[in-house]
Amino acid sequence: MNAPVKIETTLKDWETDQEVRWCPGCGDYAILKAVQRTLPQLGADPANTVFISGIGCSSRFPYYVESYGFHTIHGRAPAFATGAKLANPDLDIWLVTGDGDGLSIGGNHLMHVLRRNVNMQIMLFNNEIYGLTKGQASPTSREGTKSPSTPIGSYDHPARPAAFALGAGARFVGRGFDVSKHLPDVLKAAHAHEGAAFIEIFQNCIVYNKDVFNDFAAPKGAEDQQLWLENGKPMLFAKDAKGIALNRDTLNLEVVDVVDGDWEAAGVIVHDVTNRSIAHMLVEMPFGPFPMALGVLYDDPRPTFEAAVLAEKAAASAGKEANLAKLLGQGQTWTVDGTAQDPV
């Protein structure tokens, strides 16, 4: 939740004169357009909007959005974004990072901006590879991934960005993918959230990890593997023929068949975005036996970091006069005579 005054803009108002330079077919193009289409619908003000990024293919984003931007250093975008928000709490901040930038060198910074709950939207583009440095395995690369840094195949267990965010204390966790028509809805929900809103966006790296998400994100034929979550709606997928239920004996999620549309008889769960326990289960669902959980997985606001800082500052300064000379003159002081050449 950010811009207090909505203004009218169009997609063109958010485009810059910079040549967009990603590999032809890169999923970043689709994400950029989704953001540029969403910002006018939010009533966002370019003069009050800041895109802050780290290092990587995704981090070229600030060059291509007609607003304020800051292309920072590797993994440190959350620290810069926190500073900007504390200096001017009215700014509408969008943080852009990738699976390498955000979960490797920047993992510590990302963890703290989430646990502190600094009010901003955090888009993590997950392509499961280091694209900018020519295709090395990243923290989210799957076991067996062959790359220049893992020629025989990676044996690292991959990090799960959404699970990481929840574990760090995030109060909003969403998921989408680059070419999805539902991605703008996830972005809008993140913007409406008061606090740090984390969105994992699966992004196709056309050169180094092509079509790795096709099983659930292909433009055609993958819909049955997508579980789009809506608050207050049953967790149905595969044209409503299947659903997600909670096995009350094992306390694990399971896929159930829905006969004649009777999802209640099948025990299908109704999605509650404030249920943190179910959110943890959703982000840990193994893809294959289960569909990919997409949309808003968790949304339960709490007071923001910058609000607490401002309240503390107001309490500390209440009834006091700002007087630098008085501050410098109080306590112990010394009078120094003489010079370096002629000391006392």
DSSP 137-157: --TTPPTT--BTTBTT---SP
Per DSSP, which regions of the chain are E strands? Answer: 49-53, 68-71, 92-98, 120-126, 172-177, 196-202, 226-229, 236-237, 242-247, 252-257, 292-299
53/70 Cα distance (integer angstroms)? 6
Q: Tell me: the pLDDT tens digits for 253-300?
A: 999 999 999 999 999 999 999 999 999 999 999 999 999 999 999 999
26/245 Cα distance (integer angstroms)? 36
Specify the long-range contacts of residues 273-277, CB closer than 8 Å, at least 24 apart.
Answer: 273/229, 273/231, 273/297, 273/298, 273/299, 273/300, 274/298, 274/299, 274/300, 276/166, 276/300
1/192 Cα distance (integer angstroms)? 4
pLDDT over 90 percentage in the chain: 80
Domains observed in the chain: 11-212 (3.40.50.970)
Q: Which of 27, 30, 58, 62 lies closest to 207, judged by CA?
A: 27
Residue 2 scores a pLDDT above 70: no
SS3 for 322? Answer: coil
Q: Which of 118, 130, 17 lies closest to 66, judged by CA?
A: 17
For residue 6, the model assigns a pLDDT of 83
Helices 305-317 and 77-87 cross at an angle (nearest 10°) of 40
| Phi, psi for 335 (deg, rounded to 5) | -110, 125
Sheet holding 242-247, edge to edge: 236-237, 242-247, 252-257
Q: Which amino acid is at 153?
A: G
Tell me the β-bridge partners of 120.
196
Q: Tell me: the pLDDT tens digits for 207-261?
A: 999 999 999 999 888 999 999 999 999 999 999 999 999 999 999 999 999 999 9
Residue with tokens 């808003």: 296
For residue 293, the model assigns a pLDDT of 98
Residue 339 scores a pLDDT above 80: no
Residue 72 scores a pLDDT above 90: yes
Phi-psi region of 73 (alpha: psi -120 to 50; beta: other; left: phi over 0): beta
Q: Which amino acid is at 260?
A: D
Residue with tokens 């502190």: 116
